[in-house]
Amino acid sequence: MKETELTSRLDRVRSMFGDSSTGAESSTAEDPSGTAGTLDAPSQRKNRSEVITQAEQPAAPAEPIALSRHAVTAPAPAPVRGTPGGFDILEPPAVKGHFDLQAKVMKDPRLERYAPQGLVAAMCDGFVLRGLNPDSGRAVAIKVKQWPMNHPLVTDMFKMIQQREMAFNDLMMEEDPQDEKHICRCIESWEAQTCDEKLKQQGHSVIVFEMLGATLGGVIEHMQGTVLQRPNSLPLRHLRRYARDMLEALAFLQLHEVIHGDLKPENVCHDPLDLGSLKLIDLDSAIMVGEDSDGCLQSQHYRAPEVFCEMAPFTTKVDVFSVGIMLCELYRGQIMFMDCDEKAQLHKMDRLLGPWPASMAQHEVVSSLPPVERDEDALYDFLVSMDDEDEELSQYFRSMVTGLLQLDPLARTSPQDALKHEFFTTAL
């Protein structure tokens, strides 16, 4: 792609979240049919911080409301890892709370063409239904998220988060028309409004994805519980395929200056149409490079050190670090930072990956850590090799992962450079 064309496309994507004379409210204007159109107009998307500052201020709310996703989203119960399509299935009591919303959404006329067949998964602010694509005859995952209507600022923020996910999915589809970059395909998305029996207005967004297979979380779970009574039970030839797919996806995101922002085993799924291939899912935490992350970037156990240290603006290297952790887990067959709180995780990072770069060493979260005895081969020793593995390929793997897990993002290997490593170029 020519540089001028790429610059133009990036500017257009940024404009989705820039100033506009049309606010988020206009994208869900009342529609006699009960549904609103697909979000294609850049004027319908703005930065979520702008929505909060531009929204009409309510008259003296009873209690102050903290405007961040952490404050307004109820904590979800622990997910069951490895569910179909990569969605977190909650325990039955949590699922039951979504039946009312599900009944309302089923009245959405645009949903009917996908013949919803039942609940696949539930989330704290929505759920996922299984359906059927009438054009291809293949299964689809229908992701539905509701807008809390209890406060206008909260409503605007949730709507904007969902609109951003739609915008990033639109970008991925447009820039990868041949489905070669290992990103889950979005088939269609829209917003809708309904009224309940008391004529109270309700709103929700719908995104229809291709249905994918089990997640990497399921692979690790299986390795821990059954296969893996010893380290390194996943053959390196499979691990190399997994690593290549994830790094190619990151290289694609980096080309378009997009940070996924929540890479973890539950957000990487097997592609049922390409045996052994992986795809990344869930762009609802994605941001552009240099954009404010709103303090919600990355799940703790896959979080990059610069995110812990709040060293914004962030780059796509935060995703590289997450992939490095996942590859270590697949290689060892166990979660790298299991049962660690933030301080214990940083302490383990210090022991395995240290020393800290000067840019982080004086930060409060690092300087408060207890001293640790470091060994320059600590990560190599952690990634112990099996006797029946190709020792040369094992050495290349550990070398490649060491580059992905550099604490200093400036020293961390880029996806493009990692794909040139001997681990990928050596013949099996």
Residue 118: what pLDDT? 81
Answer yes or no: are the C-beta atoms of 358 and 376 closer than 8 Å: no
What integer pLDDT is reported at residue 294 of this predicted model?
Answer: 65
Assess whether 64 and 181 both reside in one domain: yes
Give the per-residue pLDDT at 376.
77
The single-letter code of the amino acid at 74 is A
Same domain, 112 and 253: no
The DSSP secondary structure of 368-381, one letter per residue, reads: TSPP----TTHHHH
pLDDT-based confidence at residue 295 (cuts at 50, 70, 90): low
Residue 165 — pLDDT band, cuts 50, 70, 90? very high
Per DSSP bridges, beta strands 201-210 and 287-288 are unpaired
Pairing mode, strands 139-146 and 258-259: unpaired
What the block records as the tokens of 149 is: 């209507």
Lowest average pLDDT, out of 154-168, 228-242, 287-301, 324-338, goes to 228-242
Same domain as 224, residue 152: no
327: part of which helix (H) or strand (E)? helix 317-332
Does residue 116 sit in helix, strand or coil?
coil
Residues 359 and 400 in one domain: yes
Which CATH number belongs to the domain containing residue 101 in this structure? 3.30.200.20
Q: pTM of the predicted model, to two decimals?
A: 0.77
If you write DSSP's letter for every residue of 144-189 in order, what string do you get? EEEPP-S-HHHHHHHHHHHHHHHHHHHHHHHH-TTS-S-BPPEEEE
Tens of pLDDT, residue by residue over 97-108, are 455 566 666 677
Strand, coil or helix: 113:
helix
266 vs 338 pLDDT, higher one: 266
Lowest mean pLDDT among 132-146, 165-179, 199-213, 297-311: 199-213
The Cα 45–Cα 193 span in angstroms is 18
**244 in the same domain as 125:** no
Pair (186, 48) in one structural domain? yes
- Among residues 210, 226, 255, which one ends one of the domains? 210
Reduced to 3 states, what is the DSSP secondary structure of residue 265? helix
- Look at residue 279 in the predicted model and tell me its pLDDT: 98
Same domain for 202 and 221, yes or no, is: no
Instruction: Indicate if 59 and 138 belong to the same structural domain.
Output: yes
Q: Dump the DSSP string for 351-367.
A: HHH-SPPHHHHTSHHHH
How confident is the model over 42-84, as pLDDT tens digits? 333 333 333 333 333 333 333 333 333 333 333 333 334 444 4
Name the domain boundary from 190, 210, 230. 210
Say yes or no: 174 and 316 in one domain.
no
φ/ψ of residue 215, rounded to 5: -90, 165
More confident residue, 121 or 265: 265
The reply to whether 157 and 173 lie within a common domain is: yes
Q: Which domain-ending residue is among 194, 210, 226?
A: 210
Q: Which range marks the domain in which residue 70 is found?
A: 3-210
Spatial distance between the Cα atoms of 220 and 243, rounded to a whole number of angstroms: 15
The count of structural domains within the chain is 2
Are 86 and 222 within one domain? no
Q: Is 227 left (phi over 0), alpha (psi -120 to 50) or beta?
A: alpha
Where residue 299 sits, what CATH number does that domain have? 1.10.510.10
Reported confidence tier of residue 111, pLDDT bands at 50, 70, 90: confident
Look at 373 and 254; give whichever has higher pLDDT.
254
235 and 144 together in one domain = no
Residue 18 has pLDDT above 60, yes or no: no
3-state secondary structure of 129: strand
Question: What is the β-pairing status of strands 258-259 and 201-210?
Answer: unpaired
